[in-house]
Amino acid sequence: MAKSEETSSSSSSSSSVGRPWESYHTVYTNAKAGMEGVDKEKVQRVVYEMSKGSKYFQNEQRKEAFINHKIQNMRAQRANLNPTHLSHYQSVADKRIAELEATRDLTRKWLHVDMDAFYAAVETLTNPSLKGRPMAVGTISMISTANYEARKFGVRAAMPGFIACKLCPELIFVPTDFKKYTYYSDLTRKVFQEYDPNFMAASLDEAYLDITNVCKERGITDAEVAEELRQNVYKATGLTCSAGVAPNRLLAKVCSDINKPNGQFLLPNDRAAIMTFISSLPIRKIGGIGKVTEQILKDVFEIKTCEDLLQKSSFLCALFSPSSAGLGGTDAPQVRSRKSMSNERTFSATKDETFFHQKLVELSEMLSADMEKERLHGRTLTLKLKTASFEVKTRALTLQSYIRSSKDILKHASKLLKAELPVSLRLIGLRMSHFNEDKDGTLSDPTQRTLLNYIKPGDGNMNLVDEEHSDLKDDSESHCYTYTDPSCDFLSELNDNSEQVVEHNDLEGHECKDQISESAQVGNTVKSSEFDAQGTETHLLERRNQDQLTIIDFPENETESTSSHHKEVLIWLEDYKCSLCGVELPPSFLAERQEHADFHLAEKMQMEEESAHSYRNLPLKNRMRQKEAGVGQSKGKKKPKHSPLNGKHIPIDAFFTKASHNL
DNA sequence: GGGTTCTGGACGG
DNA sequence: TTCCACCGTCCAGAACCC
């Protein structure tokens, strides 16, 4: 603790020695609507006093030291730039700006609408006794939003409730009720739809509307549209909102914040007016520039406003990855699909592995249910952990096939977690990404191989296995695991039972769950002989047509691989899909089908020849070698990451790229 | 060398 | 006395694979 404070103070100004809170960077003093008159120093002091000494605080100090190191590094790089370098980078920046200018379209009118203290306003609407009293939606741990009465005390979203209590002892807490907020959000969206049927909802309480057409069609100004829309929202919901109108979404969002609450601000579609507007605009107002980036830009380049950003564009080009400077794009929004889905839970820090398992079960079921709702399957599973010291770690696993069932998710999540044990945690989360939407009830196989793949010797074995339900597949994943530690009971249990249910899609595209095989089933368990000691499933289960299950035997272990174990017969399922590996070939591809059958024959012979070797290891030699070399490492796969402090680039262009995404 | 995966981090609501 | 969320997006850099 003393050490971390020392680290922090070494990087802060000497004037903060007697006032240590001044160097404690939080997001809570960032100007937010309704907080203009707040005593920032008092807030900073209270936050510091309430936080210091805690594990959270120590972690913040660690991060702060990291950022300070980064700043020092960049200052050194900046000092090394000579006039020739700068002149070069200036021309690069000028060129980039000219390109953006050329592609800019200032004829559109974007309106950003933002509900005022939305959650708090909805709560007050449904419980008028809260009116005029400082109130926050959230818990003692974390506040989602605060009303304007509470904001006067410095209470704001993302602030822990216990700190908010200190700032405002009369503060009333109201638990979040998303059903209610969704209901009111839907009402507002009905109004938005009247102005732009393709409006873009940014969250429950924010939306972007392209009002160019409605202005033209009705022959009214953008100011009139904004005014009318806000009135209609109020009529429909009883809630107030604020609006901003500008030629692009980034600027519209900045504008909607200017006259909050219950106001609007319009930026003319005129280049000179826009340049004047942004010249004094603090960089922090730009979406994507947060606490850290603001600090870096200020401490390394003395950049505080957008004008500074333009003036120092040569430095930015020199020290950051290719960036753009300007007002951003004016494109119409694209339809964006979901990239990931996650859930996570915080709890009191513990080392209890049974508790971790229970959490994983809950999270797996929640994630599976969420994916089911959106008819998604995913193939990358990420385990998120927050240690007792607030350090966040993620461990990901990309599978060869798409999964959705809670059982599959739990199985893989458990493996990821097991590699981290023992550990003291305060949060566990699961995220699924790399989606394949099964709108028509079918899933494409991301790893489906072409015939050429099969020609490669020794590289086809995995195709013989039902990838979604066999642990053989796991060896072809990016992580390799060995199940040598039976100490973790829940994991052993999982390995024993996780294969009991086969999930698949039926012909109508509905997901079905079948017990593995009635003959193989004893009560609710599968005969243990069907699984080897490592939890490897030795039967391939295939659903044929609607009801018939066919079991195809594979060698139970590497020494028992004899032809007598191979009962498989190649059948073209539904007249196009290979029953052995799933490759799809239409009936007209006679030559290819013959070649494919020959491959399986050759493959079978090869397996027999190689029976003395583990066929599982063949395609994985390199990985396995590496795994062996990394014994004792929890991850055992990658070398420790180099410190990003040494990296040249920082995602500065993220502001611009991100901004244009939001535009 | 290019594509993919993994990891940590910033950011916003 | 203690107590700092949850969910989603995007990015950089390193490692790895082909």
Q: What is the 3-state secondary structure (H, E, C) of A120-186?
A: HHHHHHHCHHHCCCCEEEECCCCEEEECHHHHCCCCCCCCCHHHHHHHCCCCEEECCCHHHHHHHHH
What share of chain A has pLDDT > 90, as a percent? 43
Nucleotides of B under 7 A from a protein CB: 4-13
Q: Are residues A73 and A133 in the same domain?
A: no
Residue A159 located in a structural domain: no
Task: Give domain status of residue A301, yes or no.
Answer: no
Q: What's the start-to-end Cα distance of chain A, in Å?
A: 43
Confidence band (pLDDT; 50, 70, 90) for A526?
very low
Lowest mean pLDDT of A86-95, A182-191, A401-410, A452-461, name the range: A452-461
CATH of the domain at A415: 3.30.1490.100
Residue A154 Cβ under 7 A from any strand C atom: no
Q: What is the pLDDT of residues A222-233, one digit of tens each?
A: 999 999 999 999
Of the segments A17-31, A307-321, A636-650, which one has the largest average pLDDT value? A307-321
A516 in any annotated domain: yes
Residue A78: what pLDDT? 87
User: Does some domain include residue A102?
Assistant: no
Distance CA A575, CA A143 (A): 58
pLDDT of residue A43: 85
Is A307 part of the annotated catalytic residue set?
A: no
Lowest mean pLDDT among A11-25, A127-141, A563-577: A563-577
Q: Which residues contact A36 (CB under 8 A, 6 or more apart)?
A: none
Q: Which of A267-281, A351-365, A422-436, A572-586 has the lowest mean pLDDT?
A: A572-586
- Contact status, residue A174 vs residue A133, Cβ threshold 8 Å: no
Q: Is residue A73 part of a domain?
A: yes
Which protein residues have their Cβ less than 7 angstroms from some atom of strand B?
A 63, 66-67, 157-158, 202-206, 253, 286-294, 380, 382, 391-398, 434, 446, 477-479, 635, 637-638, 641, 644, 651
Asked if strand C contacts A654 at the CB level, meaning under 7 A, the answer is yes
Is pLDDT at A514 greater than 50 in this prediction? no
Q: Which amino acid is at A586?
A: P
Read off the CATH number of the domain in which A239 is found: 3.30.70.270
A135 and A214 together in one domain: yes
Q: Are residues A176 and A251 in the same domain?
A: yes
Question: For residue range A465-479, what is the model confidence (pLDDT) as tens digits?
Answer: 333 333 333 333 333
Q: Which helix (H) or strand (E) holds A13?
A: none
Query: Taking residues A600-629, what's their average pLDDT?
Result: 38
Dihedral of alpha carbons A591, A596, A600, A605, sign: positive
Q: Identify the band that residue A30 occupies on the pLDDT scale cut at 50, 70 and 90.
A: low
Are residue A247 and residue A348 in the same domain, yes or no? no
Domain count, chain A: 4
User: Which nucleotides along chain C are within 7 A of a protein C-beta?
Assistant: 2-18
**CA-CA distance, A438 to A444, in Å (whole number)?**
9
Asked if the structure places residue A310 within a domain, the reply is no
- Distances from the Cα of A336 to the Cα of A159, A328, A662, angstroms: 31, 19, 12
Give distance CA A458 / C1' C18 (Å): 15
> A338 CA to C9 C1', in Å?
9
The DSSP secondary structure of A283-328, one letter per residue, reads GGGSTT--HHHHHHHHHHH---BHHHHHHTHHHHHHHSSS---SS-
Residue nearest to nucleotide C2 (CA to C1'): A162
Give the mean pLDDT of A613-630: 33
pLDDT tens across A233-244, in order? 999 999 999 999
Q: How far apart are CA A185 and CA A204, in angstroms?
A: 6
- Are residues A598 and A608 located together in one domain of the fold? yes
Distance CA A565, CA A294 (A): 66
- Beta-carbon neighbour count of residue A524 at 10 Å? 8
Closest residue (CA) to C1' of nucleotide B7 is A394
Give distance CA A335 / C1' C9 (Å).
15
Question: Domain check: are A500 and A489 in the same one?
Answer: yes
Q: What's A534's DSSP letter?
A: T
- DSSP annotation of A475: G
Distance A384 CA to C18 C1' (A): 30
Residue with tokens 């053989």: A472
User: Which pLDDT band holds residue A92 (cuts at 50, 70, 90)?
Assistant: confident
Query: What pLDDT is stored for residue A582 in this prediction?
Result: 54
- Predicted local distance difference test score (pLDDT) of residue A335: 60
pLDDT in tens, A420-441: 989 999 999 999 999 986 544 4
**Which residue range is the domain that position A413 belongs to?**
337-444+483-531
Evaluate if residue A291 carries a pLDDT over 50. Answer: yes
Question: Are residues A465 and A493 located together in one domain of the fold?
Answer: no
Assess whether A192 and A259 both reside in one domain. Answer: yes
**Which of A's residues 608-637 have CB atoms within 7 A of nucleic strand C?**
622-623, 626, 637
Domain contains A61: yes
State mean pLDDT over A353-359.
Answer: 94
Report the pLDDT value the prediction gives residue A50, as an integer from 0 to 100.
87
Question: At A53, is the pLDDT very low, low, confident or very high (cuts 50, 70, 90)?
Answer: confident
Residue A663 covered by a domain: no
Domain identity same for A248 and A359: no
Residue of A64, A149, A206, A353 with catalytic role: A206
| A488 and A363 in a common domain | yes
The reply to whether A571 and A594 lie within a common domain is yes
Which whole number is the average pLDDT over A88-109?
A: 86
Give the pLDDT of residue A439: 44
Pair A460, A580: CB distance under 8 Å: no
Tens of pLDDT along A181-195? Answer: 999 999 999 999 999
A504 and A541 share one domain:
no
Token pair for A184:
């009111």
Question: Pick from A502, A531, A560: which residue ends a domain?
Answer: A531
Buried/exposed A194-233: b ≥16 CB within 10 Å, e otherwise: ebbeebbebebbbbbbbbbebbeeeeeebeebbebbbebb
Residue A46 pLDDT: 87
Distance, CA of A127 to CA of A331 (rounded, Å):
42
Q: Which nucleotide lies closest to A206 by the C1' atom and the CA atom?
A: B13
Q: What percent of chain A has pLDDT over 70?
A: 58
Q: Which residue has the tokens 């086809």?
A: A460
By C1' distance from the Cα of A477, the closest nucleotide is B5
Q: How long is the CA A109 to C1' B2 vector, in angstroms?
A: 40
